[in-house]
């Protein structure tokens, strides 16, 4: 098969337990280590093992090769294009990693006294100040661990604000285009969620907000640009409708990478917003972490910020906890500091002009993909978008090929699939976010692969439906994997010399 992307070597990879040979080992510890009669003398007998643990007995090269090979099974950004919509998987410049590994930062103990942590505190203070300037807010907390945690922090401040004015209110308005974390955060903060329908062009209409607005509404949570990649152009008007009746406007800032350097949510009337540092400011977040979800607030919400806040007193940085109206602490210590370091390096490296250019390139790249695939795949919202673009499988219906099949076939072409079946308002959504990191050559290769798949769907649909063909494992039974996960290996499951463990054939699960 012709591949416009890349494909890799596939090794059969048994478990280390299956490679185990009794007596083989890959360490050379001094004999006395853990082997003396006194070892464990201070530990109560009931807590001591009676038999050694069932660990694989393997040599060092086997272990190194095993994990090195496994590491290539996961498609990461350093391996290829990763156009996961809504996730902003941008390249993480190596200089960020250098900064995050600097001894003075990496080895600093979180309990180090303030006078020994001036550099770290100063960096946090500066980063918060830079984020406030980029977004147009009065103040920023860096404490939350990720985007959703930032949303919860923001909504708790909204609640504290309303309580301080006599009544928490009971409802939060959430548009139907929202990310799933928005209703979840509102609910966790003690609110009932009221869904507001977006208009036919995917944009939230002021009239729909006005109709749902009353004095029980604490806030509206809006993502801007929304999850369709479209700019909510009525944001100013919607803020006014909310403010007139005492409500607040929350902006989910996960998509800030299409605004930064060009427009500021704080200037649009937004009262509170979380940043996703691990999206907008590099540090792609494969495997569930780490993240960082700072929250920016307008002046009226400042007293409710989580403690401690970093203050600058004269030339000294200090942690202030004496803030009686604070919602309290949201995270142990000060948040995910290493992600802050990378974000700081990213902002300082690009500078004001570079951030703006990055936004322009992110928007240009998404629209380049849109233009390249328009006519090949159905475009539910056929207009220019911002940083991401959404197609659907509508035009492939007659072939029987679905969004999931297209996504799986892309793997054979060497690309990570885009986000699929989200947002929910688009049936069979294929959501592509190239980010500013990618060159026009990569985008051309991706477009060619998507076109090849659409053509194949018409001539050989079974090829697409059976994909991926070039990976070690085929299509997984995702339902079974979720319902009956096998999380633990037992020696009794198979012996290292069982015939199936010796087989060099890659094992397929379908």
Of the two residues 185 and 402, which places its CB atom closer to ligand PLP in the complex? Answer: 185
* Chosen residue from 143, 223, 403, 471 binding ligand PLP by CB under 6 A: 223
- The window from 57-65, 195-203, 248-256, 433-441 that contacts ligand PLP (CB under 6 A) reads 248-256
Residues from 386 through 415 that contact ligand PLP (CB under 6 A): none
* Chosen residue from 20, 141, 224, 276 binding ligand PLP by CB under 6 A: 276
- The residues pairing with 319 across neighbouring beta strands, listed in sequence order, are 310
Look up tokens 């069932």; give the residue.
54
- The residues pairing with 391 across neighbouring beta strands, listed in sequence order, are 430
Of the two residues 255 and 399, which places its CB atom closer to ligand PLP in the complex? Answer: 255
Residues from 3 through 42 that contact ligand PLP (CB under 6 A): none
Q: How many angstroms separate the CA atoms of 60 and 63, rounded?
A: 5
Terminal alpha carbon distance of the chain: 22
Element containing residue 236 per DSSP (H, E): helix 235-244
For the chain, the residue count is 510
SS3 295: strand
Contacts of 57 (CB under 8 A, 6+ apart): 20, 21, 22, 23, 24, 25
User: What tokens appear for 324 in the block?
Assistant: 């009686």
Cβ 153 to ligand PLP shortest distance, Å: 11
Cβ 347 to ligand PLP shortest distance, Å: 18
By CB atoms closer than 10 A (0-12, 13-18, 19+), residue 35 is exposed
Of the two residues 285 and 475, which places its CB atom closer to ligand PLP in the complex? Answer: 285
318 neighbors 121 (Cβ within 8 angstroms): yes
Cβ 215 to ligand PLP shortest distance, Å: 28
- Helices 440-459 and 337-373: crossing angle in degrees, nearest 10, is 50
* Chosen residue from 75, 90, 156, 179 binding ligand PLP by CB under 6 A: 179
Look up tokens 């950004």; give the residue.
77
Instruction: Supply the DSSP string of 328-374, one letter for each residue.
Output: ---SSTTS-HHHHHHHHHHHHHHHHHHHHHHHHHHHHHHHHHHHHHB
User: What tokens appear for 426 in the block?
Assistant: 């688009």
418 neighbors 426 (Cβ within 8 angstroms): no
Of the two residues 275 and 317, which places its CB atom closer to ligand PLP in the complex? Answer: 275
| Residue with nearest beta carbon to ligand PLP | 147
Of the two residues 85 and 414, which places its CB atom closer to ligand PLP in the complex? Answer: 85
- The window from 70-78, 251-259, 299-307, 453-461 that contacts ligand PLP (CB under 6 A) reads 251-259
Of the two residues 147 and 335, which places its CB atom closer to ligand PLP in the complex? Answer: 147
* Chosen residue from 92, 181, 358, 403 binding ligand PLP by CB under 6 A: 181
Of the two residues 252 and 445, which places its CB atom closer to ligand PLP in the complex? Answer: 252
Residues from 63 through 122 that contact ligand PLP (CB under 6 A): 86
Cβ 204 to ligand PLP shortest distance, Å: 14
Q: Could you say whether residue 252 binds ligand PLP (CB under 6 A)?
A: yes
329 neighbors 306 (Cβ within 8 angstroms): yes
SS3 126: helix
Q: Could you say whether residue 264 binds ligand PLP (CB under 6 A)?
A: no
Which positions from 225 to 244 touch ligand PLP by CB under 6 A, shown as an x/- string?
--x-----------------
Instruction: Supply the DSSP string of 44-80, one letter for each residue.
Output: -GGGS-SS--------HHHHHHHHHHHHTTS--TTTS
Which positions from 117 to 156 touch ligand PLP by CB under 6 A, shown as an x/- string?
-----------------------------xxx--------
Cβ atoms within 10 A of the Cβ of 241, count? 21
Q: How many angstroms separate the CA atoms of 510 and 507, rounded?
A: 10
SS3 274: strand
Peptide bond connecting 290 to the previous residue in cis, omega within 30 degrees of 0: yes
Cβ 43 to ligand PLP shortest distance, Å: 41
SS3 441: helix
329 neighbors 307 (Cβ within 8 angstroms): yes
Cβ 250 to ligand PLP shortest distance, Å: 11
Q: Could you say whether residue 254 binds ligand PLP (CB under 6 A)?
A: yes
Cβ 145 to ligand PLP shortest distance, Å: 8
Of the two residues 388 and 412, which places its CB atom closer to ligand PLP in the complex? Answer: 388
Q: Could you say whether residue 293 binds ligand PLP (CB under 6 A)?
A: yes
Of the two residues 121 and 172, which places its CB atom closer to ligand PLP in the complex? Answer: 172
Of the two residues 227 and 437, which places its CB atom closer to ligand PLP in the complex? Answer: 227
Cβ 198 to ligand PLP shortest distance, Å: 14
- The window from 9-17, 196-204, 252-260, 482-490 that contacts ligand PLP (CB under 6 A) reads 252-260
Of the two residues 284 and 414, which places its CB atom closer to ligand PLP in the complex? Answer: 284
Q: Could you say whether residue 185 binds ligand PLP (CB under 6 A)?
A: no
Q: How many angstroms separate the CA atoms of 345 and 428, rounded?
A: 38
21 neighbors 430 (Cβ within 8 angstroms): no
User: What tokens appear for 490 in the block?
Assistant: 């037992």
Cβ 45 to ligand PLP shortest distance, Å: 46
Residue 370 CA to chain centroid, in angstroms?
A: 23
Of the two residues 402 and 419, which places its CB atom closer to ligand PLP in the complex? Answer: 419
Cβ 65 to ligand PLP shortest distance, Å: 33
Binding site for ligand PLP (CB under 6 A): 86, 146-148, 179, 181, 223, 227, 252, 254-255, 276, 291, 293
């Amino acid at each position: 098969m012709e591949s416009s992307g890349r494909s890799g070597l596939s090794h059969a990879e048994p478990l280390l337990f299956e490679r185990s040979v009794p007596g083989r080992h890959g360490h050379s510890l001094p004999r006395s280590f853990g082997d003396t009669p006194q070892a464990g003398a201070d530990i109560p007998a009931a807590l001591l093992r009676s038999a050694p643990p069932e660990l694989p007995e393997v040599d060092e090269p086997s272990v190194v090769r095993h994990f090195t090979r496994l590491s290539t099974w996961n498609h990461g950004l350093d391996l290829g294009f990763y156009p996961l919509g809504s996730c902003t998987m941008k390249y993480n410049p190596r200089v960020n990693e250098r900064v995050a590994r600097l001894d003075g930062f990496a080895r600093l103990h979180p309990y180090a006294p303030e006078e020994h942590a001036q550099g770290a505190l100063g960096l946090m203070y500066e980063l918060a100040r830079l984020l406030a300037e980029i977004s147009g807010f009065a103040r920023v907390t860096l404490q939350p661990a990720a985007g959703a945690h930032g949303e919860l922090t923001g909504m708790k401040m909204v609640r504290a604000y309303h309580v301080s004015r006599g009544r928490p209110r009971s409802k939060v308005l959430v548009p139907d285009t929202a990310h799933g974390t928005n209703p979840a955060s509102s609910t966790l903060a003690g609110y009932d969620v009221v869904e507001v329908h977006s208009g036919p062009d995917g944009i939230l209409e002021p009239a729909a907000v006005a109709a749902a607005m009353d004095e029980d509404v604490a806030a509206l949570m809006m993502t801007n640009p929304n999850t369709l990649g479209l700019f909510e152009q009525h944001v100013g008007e919607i803020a006014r409708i909310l403010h007139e009746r005492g409500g607040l406007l929350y902006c989910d800032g996960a998509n800030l990478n299409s605004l930064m350097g060009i427009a500021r949510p704080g200037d649009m009337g937004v009262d509170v917003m979380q940043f996703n540092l691990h999206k907008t400011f590099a540090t792609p977040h494969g495997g569930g972490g780490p993240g960082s979800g700072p929250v920016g607030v307008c002046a009226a919400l400042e007293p409710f910020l989580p403690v401690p806040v970093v203050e600058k007193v004269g030339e000294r940085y200090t942690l202030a906890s004496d803030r009686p109206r604070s919602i309290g602490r949201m995270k142990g210590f000060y948040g995910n500091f290493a992600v802050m370091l990378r974000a700081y390096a990213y902002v300082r490296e690009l500078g004001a002009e570079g951030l703006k250019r990055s936004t322009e390139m992110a928007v240009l790249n998404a629209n380049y993909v849109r233009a390249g695939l328009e006519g090949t795949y159905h475009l539910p919202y056929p207009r220019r978008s911002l940083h991401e673009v959404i197609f659907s499988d509508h035009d492939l219906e007659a072939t029987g090929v679905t969004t999931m099949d297209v996504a799986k076939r892309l793997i054979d072409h060497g690309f990570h699939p885009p986000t699929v079946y989200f947002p929910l308002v688009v049936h069979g959504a294929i959501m592509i976010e190239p980010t500013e990191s990618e060159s026009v050559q990569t985008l051309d290769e991706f477009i060619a692969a998507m076109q090849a798949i659409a053509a194949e769907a018409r001539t050989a649909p079974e090829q697409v439906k059976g994909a991926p063909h070039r990976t070690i494992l085929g299509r997984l039974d995702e339902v079974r994997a979720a319902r009956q996960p096998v999380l633990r290996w037992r020696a009794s499951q198979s012996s290292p010399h069982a015939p199936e463990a010796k087989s060099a054939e890659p094992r397929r699960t379908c």
